[in-house]
Amino acid sequence: MSEPDSPVGRRGGKIDGLPKITGAARFTDDLTLPGMLHGAFNRSPHAHARILSIDVSAALALPGVYAVLTGADLPTPYGVIPVAQDEHALAVGKVLFIGDEVAAVAAVDQETARRAAALIRVEYEPLEGVFTIEDALNPDKPLLHDERRRKGDTNVLRRVFQKYGDPAAGFAEADVIIESNYDYPGSTHVPLETQVALAQPHPDGKLTLWSSTQIPHYLHRIVSKVLGMREQDVRVIKPDVGAGYGGKSDPFANELCAAALARKTGRPVKFILDREEVFYAHRGRHPTRMTLKMGVTNDGRITAADFKAWAAGGAYASYGVVTAYYFGVFLPLPYKLDHWQFESHRCYTNHPPCGPKRGHGAIQPRFALELHLDKLANAIGMSPDALRLKNCVEPDTETSNGLRITSVALKECVDKVLAASGYLEKRGKLGPNRGIGLATSAYMCGALHPIVQSEMPQSAVQICADRSGRVSILSGTADIGQGSNHMLAAIVAGRLGIPETDCVVLEADTGLTPVDLGSYSSRVTFFAGNAAKMAADQLYAVMRAAAAEKLGGEDVVMLGGKVFRESAPEKALDFAEAVQLAEERHGTLGFVGHYKPPKIGNRFRRQSVGPSPAYSFTAQVAEVVVDPETGFVTVERIWAAHDCGKALNPTIVEGQIEGCVYMGVGEALAEEQSYTKHGLHRAPSILEYKIPTVFETPEIITIIVESNDKEGPFGAKEAGEGPQLSTVPAIANAIFDACGVWMNEAPFTPDRVLKAIERRDREARRASFDGA
């Protein structure tokens, strides 16, 4: 499908890349409006407390202060998931974590707003905190959300249990069964740009809100709901965004308070979070304790699995209900597994709320399962790659839990990554303290079901061809740096045979652009890409028909900015001429396309989380060096092969794979949301929260594998999240190859690795003593 000079499949920078590297791009904080005020929060210093009184008089008396809001001003609860409406813009009645927003101030500048916020006097009655999974499961502990109170209630937001096939029978078939506990830490996204919102009230009572969001559509709905406004009176615009990774997929207090303060003061209000506040806004990876039991036959067939997970999710639900399902539903993928069950618990604790982070809900079970596979391979004396390939899911099949699998190029990914890394030659032979490890994974290309149930399209794109030959593309998609603007332009331009730079993309303005549900669940390329393709197909048909009439033949092609008959390429129309011809015949050339995922029949009616129109596949190999005296792990190289269906732009796909690997390395080596026993974040700064620097970042060798999905736009699937799933377990398996210790607990900090090595040596000494 991809022609040589088509933008589809062509390497190169993003259409909106230059403004970002030259500084011309405008992020929300770059926007300034006349008379603009600035917001600041008063936050809770208690992890769990009842609010007895709030005195805002000193704050209001400070010169330069325009308004103060408390929970009483915004009493409507909300939450991104309809079944978990447990948040308020400002605390109502209780505070649930250190950093919870209690009051918001609008003042003439940020310093005044901060000073005023500090003058607000709040009287608290401290309550016992819930800080561990044990606390959360204990019915004698206080409930964070009082409204949940029924006899025997605990702080479990959602428990999910699913069983497929006959696990007992599966375990009976196994020759080897291994059971282990695993711990995966909480981690946060650390986007370069913190959350920023700017709200402008209009004289007619309407409101415009600019925000650094991944979900303009859901933000639009929730701002309207919380402010009690008609949705058609609220316009949400997402300017350029400095990354999100899932951390901007919820509505945030700064957005709601900017809007409410703007309405109250009649002035524009900007509300920016500082870096520490982003650690409190959080919505990152759930710290998860897991147990996994799996059985294999001696010839390497996985016969059964039993998985349990408990997540300490923080003070609010966010996407936590969905997380509880993701923990289990993706567990077997990318392998065939007939007999298995899982049980997951997503708990409330008095910490900043967890939510979706790149690879949402799938990272933790993947870590456990991929380590487990290496343990099983070891136990039956099979090579880890052979065990994986033997159980690999096949194209055009259905998993035991009813997921429809279409294109799969995992075997090719494994073959390529083994060949490139020399895994087979290196494993076990790199000498002491140097090792190599493999892991594979799969991820969805968009959640099949929308967050708010509806039969309407989940993505829409509107295109319009101008007589100049320029094509405008309007879409509600949210480009947060991942390249969705370029993706839309490449698809439309690819269909019409013009350079993508002749397209103009206007996105994420709920006042102008047709709806898209947002940048989450790796859905945008598949969903919005198909919508763009549908719109472009219509324009293509109309232009082609007009050109065929003019050129006197049906064999018309559109390529390289020209429109011509294949049999007579010398008589070519310019694209702009062809547009004009078509406009004469058809009228103004505007078309809309949309995407509704196919109705995929699922044998399991309860399975609304997990189904996706397609899945991406990844194989990775990591090579590491371990310092046995300090415990420091150096990841030297990672080879990452990813089946993205079709690389619409290989440069951008490689960038996404590299970003995933980088983030995985951070989670593997050091990143951890760590709290004191009183629930205070121990390191809410990017000095002490240890994301990798360039020195910790390995050489990354990316390998793109194309399976050309039948339903993907030009065959494309996702590349923005899936590649992260393999990174952490590949590193863990490499550490085992290096020094013979299983790192069942991440991150693999020097402290943990050294303890594991010391334990290994103690056991070896004991064994040799016993043997003697």
Partner 1 sequence: MLPLPTFSVLSPRAVSDAAQMLTDHPQARLIAGGTDLLPSMKYGLFTPPTLIRLGGVSALQEISVTEAGGLRIGAGVTLRAVGRDVRVLSLYPALAAATRTIATSTIQAMGTLGGNLMLDTRCAWYNQSTFWRGALGGCLKCHSAPEGAICHVAPKGKGCYAAHSADTAPGLLLYDAEVELVSTRGARRVAVAALYGDDGRDWIRRAPDELLTAVILPPPPAGRVVHRKLRARGSIDYPLLLTAAAFDPDRGPRVVVSSVGPRPVELGGVAEAWEAGGVEAVAEAAYKQVSPLSTHVWPAPWRKKMVRVEVRRALEAAISGV
Residues forming the site for partner 1 (CB under 8 A): 43, 45-46, 98-99, 110-111, 114, 118, 274, 276, 629-631, 670, 674, 676, 680-685, 687-688, 690, 692-696, 749-751, 754
Q: Are 638 and 742 in contact (CB under 8 A)?
A: no
Query: Whole-number minimum distance, CB 64 to partner 1, in Å?
Result: 14
SS3 389: helix
Query: Whole-number minimum distance, CB 669 to partner 1, in Å?
Result: 9
Q: Which is nearer to partner 1, 119 or 653 (CB)?
A: 119
Query: Whole-number minimum distance, CB 353 to partner 1, in Å?
Result: 17
Q: Which residues are 271's β-sheet partners?
A: 197
SS3 428: coil
Query: Whole-number minimum distance, CB 43 to partner 1, in Å?
Result: 6
Neighbours of 318 (CB within 10 A): 29
Q: Which is nearer to partner 1, 90 or 547 (CB)?
A: 90
Query: Whole-number minimum distance, CB 694 to partner 1, in Å?
Result: 7
CA distance 303 to 301: 6
Closest CA to 225 of 72, 449, 67, 74: 74
**Structural element, H or E, at residue 480:** none
Query: Whole-number minimum distance, CB 44 to partner 1, in Å?
Result: 8
Q: Which is nearer to partner 1, 548 or 683 (CB)?
A: 683
Query: Whole-number minimum distance, CB 432 to partner 1, in Å?
Result: 17
Q: Which is nearer to partner 1, 739 or 754 (CB)?
A: 754
Give the burial string for 539-575 (b: 16+ CB within 10 Å, else e). Answer: bbebbbbbbeebbeeeebbbbbbbbbbeeeeeebbeb
Q: Which is nearer to partner 1, 160 or 731 (CB)?
A: 731
Q: Which is nearer to partner 1, 69 or 691 (CB)?
A: 691
Q: Are 463 and 223 in contact (CB under 8 A)?
A: no
Query: Whole-number minimum distance, CB 330 to partner 1, in Å?
Result: 32
HSE, CB side, 13 Å, CA atoms: give it for residue 445. 30
Query: Whole-number minimum distance, CB 270 to partner 1, in Å?
Result: 13
Query: Whole-number minimum distance, CB 705 to partner 1, in Å?
Result: 32
C-alpha distances in angstroms, 750 versus 28, 243, 631, 670, 768? Answer: 39, 30, 4, 9, 27
Q: Which is nearer to partner 1, 395 or 628 (CB)?
A: 628
Q: Which is nearer to partner 1, 603 or 682 (CB)?
A: 682
CA distance 512 to 215: 15
Burial of 34 (0-12, 13-18, 19+ CB in 10 A): exposed
CA distance 307 to 362: 13
Number of DSSP helices (H) and strands (E) in the chain, helices first: 20, 28
Q: Which is nearer to partner 1, 96 or 491 (CB)?
A: 96
CA distance 465 to 530: 19
DSSP state, residue 353: P
Closest CA to 582 of 546, 535, 554, 538: 546
Q: Which residues are 305's β-sheet partners?
A: 294, 340
DSSP 273-332: --HHHHHHH---PPPEEEEEEEEE-TTS-EEEEEEEEEEE--SS-TTHHHHHHHHHHTSS
Q: Which is nearer to partner 1, 497 or 692 (CB)?
A: 692
- To the nearest 10°, report the CA torsion of 530, 534, 535, 541: 150
Q: Which is nearer to partner 1, 394 or 688 (CB)?
A: 688
Query: Whole-number minimum distance, CB 384 to partner 1, in Å?
Result: 30
Query: Whole-number minimum distance, CB 687 to partner 1, in Å?
Result: 7
Q: Which is nearer to partner 1, 28 or 749 (CB)?
A: 749
